[in-house]
Amino acid sequence: MGYILAIVSPLLGVIAGAIIYFTQKENPFLSRHGKYIIIVAVIVWVIGIVVVMGGFLH
């Protein structure tokens, strides 16, 4: 669910990933996925900015 949220809404994906990452430190599996969710959200965010600023959506 976190990955879908990161793709659909990167801001909410970063928030959800940060919550998972920082609250699940004792569980390495969940902590790692929280970090990956943040990474996916940032990548989608950057791609969105490049698409909008590059004028690809005219």
Q: What does the pLDDT look like over 13-56, one tens digit per residue?
A: 999 999 999 999 999 999 999 999 999 999 999 999 998 888 77
14 contacts 35 by C-beta, under 8 angstroms: no
Binned at pLDDT 50, 70 and 90, residue 1 comes out as: confident
Quick check: is 27 in a domain?
A: yes
Domain that holds residue 24: 2-53
| Inside any domain, residue 58 | no
Q: What is the per-residue DSSP string for the chain?
A: -HHHHHHH-HHHHHHHHHHHHHH-TT-HHHHHHHHHHHHHHHHHHHHHHHHHHTTTT-
The encoded tokens of residue 22 equal 């920082």
Q: What are phi and psi of 39, to 5 degrees?
A: -60, -45
State the total domains in the chain. Answer: 1
pLDDT of residue 55: 79
